[in-house]
Amino acid sequence: MDNNYNTIIIGAGPAGMEAAYRLSVFGIRTCLLEKEAETGGHLLKWDRIFPEGRKASEILGFMRKRIESGNITTITSARIDSIRKKAGNGYEAELATNEGKKTITADTILIACGFKLFNAAKKEEYGYGIYNRVITNADLENLFKTNSTGSIIGENRTPAVGFVHCVGSRDEKAGNRHCSKVCCATAVKQAMEIKEAYPQATVYCFYMDLRMFGRHYEDMYLEAQQKYGIRFIRGRVSEVSEDCNERIVAKAEDTLSGKPVKITLDMLVLMSGIACNPDSGKITGSLSIENDSDGFIKYADSIFGQVKGPGIFTAGTCTGPKTLPETINEAGEAAAVIYGYLKGNSNNF
Amino acid sequence: MEDRIPGGYDNFVIPFLAGMAFILAYCIAKLIGIIMHMPSDDRKKLLLSLVNPRIIAKNIADIFSDCLLHVKIFRKNPKLGYMHMSIAFGWFMLIVIGHMEVAEFMPEKLHTFYYPIFFNYFVLKTADSGTALAVYEFLMDFFLLMVLSGVGIAVFKRFRSSIVGMKRTTRPLTRDRIAMYALWAIFPLRLIAEASVAGTGGGGFLAMSIYKAISPLMPESANVLPIWWAYSISLGIFFFMLPYSRYMHIPTEAVLIMFRNAGIRATNAETGFSLLEQYSCSTCGMCIDACPMTNIAEGEKNASVYFIRNLRYGGGKSSTKSIANACLMCNKCVAACPVGINSCELKRRYRSADYDGMPARQYGFVPSMETHPATIGNTAGNPCMEDHGNRISASYAIAGTKGQSRGVDSKPHKTASCKQNEDNVYNKKAIYFSGCMTQLTPSVSRSMERIFKAAGIDYSYMDRDGGLCCGRPLMLAGNDRDAASLIEKNTGIIETSGAEILVLSCPICYKVFKENYRLGNIRIMHHTEYINGLIESGRIKIRRTDEKLAYHDPCELGRGCGIYDEPRKIISAAGHLAEASENRESSICCGGSLGSITLTYDQRSKVTQAALESLACGSPDRIVTACPLCLKTFGTYSALPVEDIAFTVARSLEN
Ligand SMILES: Cc1cc2nc3c(=O)[nH]c(=O)nc-3n(C[C@H](O)[C@H](O)[C@H](O)COP(=O)(O)OP(=O)(O)OC[C@H]3O[C@@H](n4cnc5c(N)ncnc54)[C@H](O)[C@@H]3O)c2cc1C
Ligand code: SF4
Ligand code: SF4
Ligand code: SF4
């Protein structure tokens, strides 16, 4: 098979996979590049998906089936050594793959390289990487998947568990001013899952304000309070320490009652946010596309989306935090725009 | 030698004399004003210093090296040093030798102010003058040439500051320009004037050769007077402009040195001693290149020189304030200033004026002694951490604020010498105060606990369950009074602990404990000093690896407390030390400083990037710092791993 395609898709997360599928339906030949050994992106790491709690593995299985098409060449463990505009039209990328070096060309590029989870160790005051009982949302998903929350909580059937919202989001000091959008809903979802597993548990959510913006999200929030008795405390956790039993002591202020609180916990879960993928800067840099000051790729138009640059398109969280359905939607839209572009409609929107 | 002009006088000396009379009167009046505005204690200090032989000797030595030879500038920048030295020292020698010449040949004229200045015009060289005159003539021309070379560099520097190795230089004001052009004109005019009368008044190698070249073209008697007028006028203008221009630093610096050696410091930003500091600023601009705010767009306008200029000329209050509030208080400009102006202290004093007349804040979070250890968050009261702070209402005993502020000295106190009882210091009970910042960096306090345990030290952890702020952030914001109440509380806790050494992880706390606390015999050590002592005395053993470690000198620990070597010794014991391109006194602020009240995170991040670039110079594997605030700030932006020196040691412990 030759190495010329209509579209190179960078990143086989939900955005890249969905776009590849949509394009294949249009008969457009794509090369789907994934740097990891498996397709799936962050979906691989999650256990259940809000708001309904569907299994991520099922969703991923469905998506993987859809990209089994003659029009899609999927290359995993692919490293992009260089990517640039060819003389004339189209683009050229040099790859290092498991089968050695390879050069591929295409008329268009779809950037779907996704996000990077904020490194919670950077907020050292929360003690991630220092105290064993402090974990992140991603770690907790993994514990749920492997049924091993006990490895942190121990035998205690009446544990106290805390969730800290906005870790590395809405935080200028951490270099991220933006809201990550998905972590409020994730925290509520995970808090309920803890209560499912430990009905006697006391669960706290420390939030600045709750952004339950999506359809049915508010229902989740009500259910969390009414059915599960989760305690929502409005206020930032100021610092975290360990007591002599190696349990976690979190200090915060309840800004609604104006009182300081100090709570001893068996597990503290940090809601790490969606930060930009530093790879995207390298990719856009060689394609002369801009990134915003927050690190995410800049849209050409704040309403119609897409980027400046002929034949270059984006989908998913590389342009900012998005939920899974939003990501899927944008991938479909990108496929339609690429189809139009290849048919001679140069209007990006 | 004899009088060429009968009576030894001509009207052209009037501009010079008028200027001279004006500047003398002005200086005396100003000095009296400054002394009157000083606290009476300071006046006493000044008087005592004038009869203290040790201080007198120091005054003379300092004035000679700082005002005439400009040794400090020389050390930092030889070309710039030469420029200053040649003008100042050359001019000084011209005046001294000029007077000696008059004393030798026309002693009866010495009492006139002008005669030594315009000597060559008034005298007629006679055959009997002998070799002594030739020596004087040579010396006078030699020093004139020296001054001219300095002026030449100065003219050049105006147009291309890079010629003397400066990236940026100050924008001169119109008044400075007028004085500057007058100054530039004085010496060439003097040379031409002296050359024009070299036939009668004599002259050295310079004047004589010019005389020989121009005399055939110019009949002497007719044209010399206008040139002497021009010379005198340029001197007159310069003297008249002196108080209104940067050149006021020439007479003021010597006075500043005397006051400083007497132990006098600024007590406010606008009167008394601080006026001397303002007038002593030569606007040399060395503080601009030093300032990390130059990495921020438009940040250059916040350099210390512009703050001082605003204070002096009464620049708009709002802009003076915005400069004072933006400053990171990293003290880099102070370290760079050849005059030693403590501009950071002036800014702090300027800020503190805001608190005058304000009622003392009621700090509800200051617990009474009985309730310590406090059960509440301990970051409150630190105005720079408002988003983490627990603003807790009442319910705790309110601490009195009777304790008067002890102010902040620029120099650390000499505490009991470290060297004497070195061997048994580490057997003593220690108290560890981590401070608000370290509470947010548990890797540091945990490492310290591991180190204490490995060394088998009997220690208590003062603020494990929450403590009070050390008070420094309030002081930096200018609020000394409220800081005093925190100091009082902490002192009580430490004194009752029975410990003999206080160990601190945070240089910000360390500085304030050293300078503003009175803890009697309790030794105060930063953890870099303490850990280094533990290593040197063999109480802990650490593994050495091949890792390259860059060390960042935290502002408050390096420039603030003069600790540069202990951390380097520790690092060299744990790995290889990779120096930053700007290190020690020139180390760049991490950008997270509590000192700035107004810089945004975006602006601060530019400072952080500059510091990280400097640290990357030796291509290190890790960056090591010794301040929890630097650790947090670098951690956000650094691509390399960043750790505290206590962590470096704890992870390398062998015992
Ligand atoms: C903790 C958490 C929980 C979440 N839970 C939910 C939920 O319950 N419901 C919901 O709707 N949404 C949820 N989301 C959001 C969801 O994960 C994202 O919307 C989705 O993963 C975005 O997909 P993506 O393809 O844009 O990015 P990603 O999932 O990040 O995929 C990007 C892919 O690109 C690859 N890649 C990156 N760089 C390169 C490169 N240079 N070369 C080749 N490949 C590269 C990556 O390896 C990755 O496979 C959650 C997010 C977080 C952080
Ligand atoms: S979604 Fe919620 S937790 Fe996440 S950043 Fe936004 S407000 Fe914070
Ligand atoms: S403050 Fe010091 S360094 Fe700055 S311009 Fe004045 S004299 Fe020079
Ligand atoms: S203290 Fe630092 S930031 Fe402030 S003016 Fe001086 S060099 Fe600049």
More confident residue, B382 or B81: B81
The alpha carbon of B318 and the centre of ligand 4 are apart by a number of angstroms equal to 18
Residues A316, A327 contacting (CB under 8 angstroms): yes
Q: Whose CA is nearest to atom 8 of ligand 3?
A: B284
Report d(CA A144, CA B230) in Å as an integer.
92
Q: Is B101's pLDDT higher than 80?
A: yes
Is B307 within 8 Å of B324 (Cβ atoms)? yes
Delimit the domains of chain A by residue range. Answer: 4-114+277-342, 118-274
Is A273 within 8 Å of A118 (Cβ atoms)?
yes
Residues with CB under 6 A from ligand 3: B 281-287, 304-305, 308, 336-337, 339, 341, 343
Give the mean model confidence (pLDDT) for residues B89-97: 94
- Percentage of chain A exceeding pLDDT 90: 88
Query: What is the second-level CATH architecture of the domain A4-114+277-342?
Result: 3-Layer(bba) Sandwich (3.50)
Pairwise CA distance, residues B363 & B361, whole Å: 6
Do the Cβ atoms of B377 and A236 come within 8 Å?
no
pLDDT class for B371, splitting at 50, 70, 90?
very low
CA distance B318 to B204: 55
Nearest CA to ligand 2 atom 6: A179
How many Å lie between the centroid of ligand 1 and the Cα of residue A18?
A: 12
Contacts of B480 (CB under 8 A, 6+ apart): B352, B355, B405, B407, B408, B474
- Cross-chain residue pair A125–B466, CB shorter than 8 Å: no
The answer to whether the pTM exceeds 0.90 is no
Measured from the CB, is residue A34 less than 6 Å from ligand 1?
yes
Give the mean model confidence (pLDDT) for residues B455-478: 86
The answer to whether B549 touches B621, Cβ cutoff 8 Å, is: yes
**Number of continuous H segments (helices) and E segments (strands) in chain B:** 29, 10
Please state, in angstroms and as integers, the Cα–Cα distance from residue A166 to each residue in A136, A179, B29, B279, B535, following that order: 12, 7, 62, 51, 41
Contact status of B441 with chain A (Cβ, < 8 Å)? yes
For chain A, what is the mean pLDDT?
94
Return the DSSP state at B66: I
The atom of ligand 4 lying closest to the CA of B307 is 5
pLDDT tens readout for residues B315-327: 777 789 999 999 9
Return the pLDDT at B415: 42
Nearest ligand 4 atom to the CA of B329 is: 1
pLDDT one-digit tens code per residue, B198-226:
888 888 888 888 888 887 776 656 678 88
Chain A touched by B364 (CB under 8 Å)? no
The DSSP H or E segment spanning B147 is: helix B130-159
Among A96-100, A270-274, B21-25, B387-391, the least confident range: B387-391
Architecture (CATH level 2) of domain A118-274: 3-Layer(bba) Sandwich (3.50)
Which one-letter DSSP state was computed for residue B293? G
Are A271 and A165 spatial neighbours (Cβ–Cβ below 8 Å)?
yes
Highest mean pLDDT among A43-47, B164-168, B420-424: A43-47
d(CA B295, nearest CA chain A) in Å: 17
Instruction: Give the C-alpha separation, B67 to B16, whole Å.
Output: 23
User: Would you state the pLDDT for residue B355?
Assistant: 74
Instruction: Give the Cα separation of B94 and B170 in Å (integer).
Output: 29
Interface test with A, best of B366, B434, B439 (most A CBs within 10 A): B439
| C-beta of residue B396 within 8 angstroms of C-beta of residue B366 | yes
Nearest atom, ligand 1, residue A42 CA: 29
d(CA B340, CA B319): 24
Cβ separation A262–B376 shorter than 8 A? yes
Atom of ligand 3 nearest to the CA of B340: 2
Q: Are A16 and A334 in contact (CB under 8 A)?
A: no
For residue A14 and ligand 1, the question of a CB distance below 6 A is answered with yes
Same CATH fold, A118-274 and A4-114+277-342? Answer: yes
Q: Which residue has the tokens 């040949």?
A: B105
Distance A27 CA to ligand 1 centre (A): 26
Given B391, B441, B637, which is nearest A124 (Cβ)?
Answer: B441
Q: Count other C-beta atoms under 10 Å from residue A111's C-beta.
A: 29
Q: Would you call B388 an interface residue with chain A, using a CB distance cutoff of 8 Å?
A: yes
Interface of B with A in 612-631 (CB under 8 A): 631
Pocket test for ligand 1, best of A113, A139, A282, A319 (most atoms within 8 A of CB): A113
CB contact under 8 A, A124 and B637: no
Q: How far is the CA of A211 from the centre of ligand 2 (A)?
A: 6
State whether A172 and B440 contact (CB < 8 Å): no
Closest chain A residue to B605 measured between Cα atoms? A175
Distance CA B93, CA B76 (A): 24
Q: For residue B400, what pLDDT band results from cuts at 50, 70 and 90?
A: very low
How high is the pLDDT of residue B196?
86
- For residue B117, give the nearest of B26, B190, B210 by alpha carbon: B190
State which residue of chain A sits closest to B592, comparing Cα positions. A173
Instruction: Note the pLDDT tens digit of each residue in B221-270.
Output: 667 888 999 999 999 999 999 999 999 999 999 999 999 999 999 988 88
Q: Residue with the nearest Cα to atom 7 of ligand 4?
A: B291
Going by their DSSP bridges, the two strands B622-625 and B642-644 should be labelled as parallel
Specify which residues B501 forms β-bridges with.
B430, B523
Cβ–Cβ gap A125/B376 under 8 Å: no
Interacting residues of A230 by C-beta distance below 8 A, sequence separation 6+? A188, A191, A192, A195, A203, A204, A205, A224
Q: How far apart are the first and last CA of chain B?
A: 87
**Residue B15 contacts A, CB cutoff 8 Å:** no
Distance from CA of A128 to the nearest CA of B (A): 10
* Residue in A with minimal Cα distance to B445: A241
CA distance B435 to chain A (A): 13
Q: Flag if B442 and A293 touch (Cβ within 8 Å).
A: no
Rounded distance from Cα B43 to ligand 3 centre (Å): 26
Give A156-196 pLDDT, tens digit per residue: 999 999 999 999 999 988 889 999 999 999 999 999 999 99
Is the per-residue pLDDT at B363 higher than 60? no
Residue type, A263: I
User: Using one digit for the tens of pLDDT, what is the confidence trace for B8-19?
Assistant: 888 999 999 999
Counting residues of chain B whose pLDDT is more than 90, the rounded percentage is 61
- Cross-strand partners of A73: A31
Residues, chain A: 349
How far is the alpha carbon of A175 from chain B, nearest alpha carbon, in Å?
A: 7
Q: Are B248 and B279 in contact (CB under 8 A)?
A: yes
Q: Assess whether pLDDT exceeds 60 at residue B290.
A: yes
What is the CA(B130)–ligand 3 centre distance, in A? 47
B479 CA → ligand 1 middle, Å = 48
Chain B hits for A172, Cβ within 8 Å: 600-601
**Ligand 4 atom nearest to CA at B332:** 7
Token pair listed for B598: 């107004």
DSSP B532-565: HHHHHTTSS-B---S-EEEE---TTTTTTT---H
Closest ligand 1 atom to A116 CA? 30
Q: Does A37 have pLDDT greater than 60?
A: yes
Q: Ligand 1 centroid vs B500 CA: distance in angstroms?
A: 55
Mutate which of A116, A118, A124, A257 to disrupt the B interface (most B C-beta within 10 Å)?
Answer: A124
B379 touches chain A (CB under 8 A): yes
* Distance of CA B469 from the midpoint of ligand 4 (Å): 24
Torsions phi, psi of B620, nearest 5?
-80, 165
Give the Cα separation of B8 and B123 in Å (integer): 8
Phi, psi of B107 (to 5 degrees): -55, -25
Contact B390 A251 (CB under 8 A): yes
A240-254, A315-329, B112-126: range with highest mean pLDDT: A315-329
Exposed, middle or buried, B622 (CB in 10 Å: 0-12/13-18/19+)?
middle
Q: What is the DSSP letter of B172?
A: P
Give me chain B's average pLDDT, please: 86
pLDDT of residue A31: 97
Residue of A122, A130, A172 with shortest CB distance to B635 = A122
Q: Which ligand is nearest to the CA of B169?
A: 3
CA distance B441 to chain A (A): 5
What is the distance between the alpha carbons of residues B391 and B655, in angstroms, rounded to a whole number?
42
Using CA atoms, how far apart are residues A275 and A169, in angstroms rounded to an integer? 8
Ligand nearest to the CA of A20: 1
Q: Is B390 on the interface with A (CB under 8 A)?
A: yes
pLDDT of residue B162: 67
